[in-house]
Amino acid sequence: MKEENKFLGTEKISKLLLKFSIPCILSLIISSLYNIVDQIFIGNSYIGYLGNTATSIVFPITIITMAVAWCLGDGAAAYLSLCQGRKDTKSAHIAIGNSILVNFIMSIIFVILGFIFMDKLLFLFGASSSSLPLAKEYFTIILIFIPIYMLGNVVNGTIRADGSPTFSMIATLSGAITNIILDPLFIFVFKMGIAGAAWATIIGESVTFIISAIYFTRTKTFKLKLNSFKINMKLLSNVIKLGISTFITQLSIVLISLVCNLMLARYGSKSKFGSDIPIAVIGICMKVFSIVINIVVGVIVGAQPILGYNYGAKNYKRVKDTFKIVLIITTIVGLIATLVFELCPGAIIGIFGKEANPLYIEFATLTFRIFLMFVLFTSIIKMSSIFFQAVGYPVYATISSLIRDIVVFIPCAILLPRFFGIKGVLYAAPIADLVGFIVTDTLLIIFFKNMKKDKVTESVTEVIRPSKKGVIITISRTHGSLGKRIGARVSEMLNIPFYYKEMISLAAQDSGLDKEFISKINTEKDALHELYLSSAPVKYATIAQEKIIKKIAESGSCVLVGRAADYVLRDNKNVVKVFIHAPLDIRIKNVMDSYKDTKEEAIKNIKRSDKNRRNYYKTVTNSEWGNLENYDLVVNSKIGVEASAEIICDYIKKIS
């Protein structure tokens, strides 16, 4: 941990970004290939733009299935990472097995519903009488293989979390290369048309799935068993909670595509362009746009560990420097993309087929120049949203992420065409980009303004105090039950070291993180407290605490108060887990006496503190804070500090 911290806190930022960002960028671009190569080859075939219209109609429907797959896959991967941190070998395989099973069940449901409501779905997403036959042909083949399509995405995310990102990338790359090779073969050589594109896609996805499935015979940190697939609702709900943000993000893409396609079809039919050309063009536009965004996302995702560690260490200058470098890269990428889209839209469109229809060329040129006018702003918005996640500001991240797509774009895409016809749909994007950029920029200004100066290195140092071998007492307590004072008295009576704030100081010294930051990770941050607890800075702090608690335990008998020490030392046979509580009226009086609170303030602080301890404990341990069955001794401290300490000491003597 210490070497890793030194690396993230002192190594040249540009070198770290190259190390972390390049693999992310490559992985994301490879994923984008699946969505692009079909349209390139279809557009250059005899099928023409109607084929691209068909794939643009089907694409958002498949995103619905991917929303479920990625929710379960990312959730399972995140849960596996948590289990690795907890050294929990019992839960990981069940969570992964449950995710695979539920994903498979959902995929079968999607297949059944897809065939029952196929025509209605395709018309809903913008199909016309001209594009419907091609859309049905393409969708039918994709739909049959949706189970493999979804399973591949679930298991691939788990492979990355298991510590094999290279294998995961190889599996994805193999599928993409297969797709690229088979597309021209099926479409041009075998004259299979749009069906050939569909077959190339699902064979490519099958290759990814098969390679990923082979990995499951040689996993590192878990092993699937028969009982892995027995539904455990508690674990499954945790997986879904961890993946729900991915699900919401993907559904927002579906919603945007749905509104966009519907408006283009409706107002396109009233224009000289018709309904099929606009939908074909917008599909190409969005997929080209995704390459730009994936480059930006790859850079900022690679920067996350640098930002997370240094924010936790209060090395704010290094946080600012990293942000500046990422912002410069984002700006360069955004400006280059803007110049290309504004000056050379024809060259981009030409990649997707030399369409002779002048109306197609005209609308494509309009779309790239208007719809992607402020692609620079979009890039900065996306980068900033992930930046806020990296430094533990989930509310800011959510606002900057949703303001453009949901709050502004969708209403504008619905309202503007009433006044400006089909061009109104195109102008909705730059308006949303501008508003989203202003809001995001405001949040960035507030964030950096509130960010104080770098921490001042403290001259006082803490040391772990050697002790005799023997019992290690961990104390969990409700707020106001005087657990800290009772723990200190027990240490005096048994003549063993006492650790409370000392654990935080030691963790800060050992890890390089800031003491104040570590101290406050289990206090309420904002409305999305659980997301804050899963952020990178908090993870670093949690790891630092766990490491120092284990070191303290190795030094001999002691008393440890708080910080989920009972869970961290769960495998230590010398640990006695104590939980201290008291009636609410006594706790209120204790808080009023200790902190000079009014009664109302005391009640509010007790509720908030207990809630935060519960959330923190749940995140770190996946166990229930205050569940009396998890403790060796439960003490009601209404009898006072001295009597409570005597009960604990008597218990220790009897079991020794």
245-259, 446-460, 585-599 — most confident range: 585-599
33-42, 157-166, 210-219, 234-243 — most confident range: 210-219
Averaged pLDDT for residues 392-414: 88
Instruction: Assess whether pLDDT exceeds 80 at residue 246.
Output: no
Instruction: Assess whether pLDDT exceeds 70 at residue 4.
Output: no
Q: To which residue do tokens 């390089």 refer?
A: 512
- What is the reported pLDDT for 87? 64
Alpha helices in 162-275 (DSSP H): 165-184, 193-215, 233-268
CA dihedral 605, 610, 613, 617 (to 10 degrees): -170
For 82-89, the CB contacts below 8 A with 24+ separation are 82/622, 83/221, 83/222, 84/161, 84/221, 85/539, 85/542, 85/543, 85/546, 86/567, 86/620, 86/621, 86/622, 87/571, 88/622, 89/221, 89/222
What domains can you pick out in the chain, each with its CATH number?
Answer: 39-268 (no CATH), 273-454 (no CATH), 472-655 (3.40.50.300)
CA distance 364 to 599: 67
The rounded radius of gyration (Å) of the Cα atoms in the chain is 28
What residues contact 450, with CB distance under 8 A and at least 6 apart? none
Q: What is the DSSP letter of 464?
A: P
- Spatial strand order of the sheet with 498-499 comes to 498-499, 558-561, 472-477, 575-581, 633-636
Residues of the chain with pLDDT > 70, as a percent, come to 94
Calculate the average pLDDT of the chain: 87
Is 386 exposed, middle or buried (CB count within 10 Å of its CB: 0-12, 13-18, 19+)?
buried
| Percent helix, percent strand, percent coil in the chain, to nearest 5 | 75, 5, 20
* Stated pTM of the model: 0.79
332 C-beta neighbours (distance < 10 Å), count: 12
What residues contact 451, with CB distance under 8 A and at least 6 apart? 316, 319, 320
Averaged pLDDT for residues 547-576: 90
What residues contact 465, with CB distance under 8 A and at least 6 apart? 497, 555, 558
Averaged pLDDT for residues 571-585: 93
Q: What is the pLDDT of residues 137-155, one digit of tens each?
A: 999 999 999 999 899 888 8
How many helices (H) does the chain have, and how many strands (E)?
28, 5
Q: Which two tokens stand for residue 286?
A: 């969005």
**Closest of 364, 318, 373, 363 to residue 345, by C-alpha:** 364
Backbone angles phi, psi at 635, to 5 degrees: -120, 130
Q: What is the pLDDT of residues 277-316, one digit of tens each?
A: 999 999 899 889 989 998 998 898 888 888 888 888 788 8
What residues contact 95, with CB distance under 8 A and at least 6 apart? 76, 79, 80, 83, 232, 235, 236, 238, 239
199 C-beta neighbours (distance < 10 Å), count: 22
Q: Is 512 helix (H, G, I), strand (E, B) or coil?
A: coil
- Range of lowest pLDDT (1-10, 185-194, 501-510, 629-638): 1-10
Which amino acid is present at 653? Answer: K
Longest dimension (CA), the chain: 91
* CA distances from residue 578 to 523, 561, 574, 627, 640 in whole angstroms, order as listed: 22, 10, 13, 11, 16
**Closest of 418, 619, 599 to residue 533, by C-alpha:** 619
**Closest of 288, 274, 285 to residue 422, by C-alpha:** 274
* CA distances from residue 134 to 57, 114, 119, 140, 276 in whole angstroms, order as listed: 10, 16, 12, 10, 12
CA distance 198 to 189: 15
Which amino acid is present at 575? Answer: V
Q: Taking the CA of residue 209 as centre, how many other CA atoms within 13 Å lie in the half-sphere pointing to its CB?
A: 18
Note whether 273 and 422 are within 8 A (CB).
yes
What residues contact 654, with CB distance under 8 A and at least 6 apart? none
- Range of lowest pLDDT (63-67, 311-315, 522-526): 522-526
Averaged pLDDT for residues 585-605: 91
CA distance 37 to 203: 14
Instruction: Assess whether pLDDT exceeds 80 at residue 259.
Output: yes
CA distance 123 to 142: 17
- What is the reported pLDDT for 267? 95
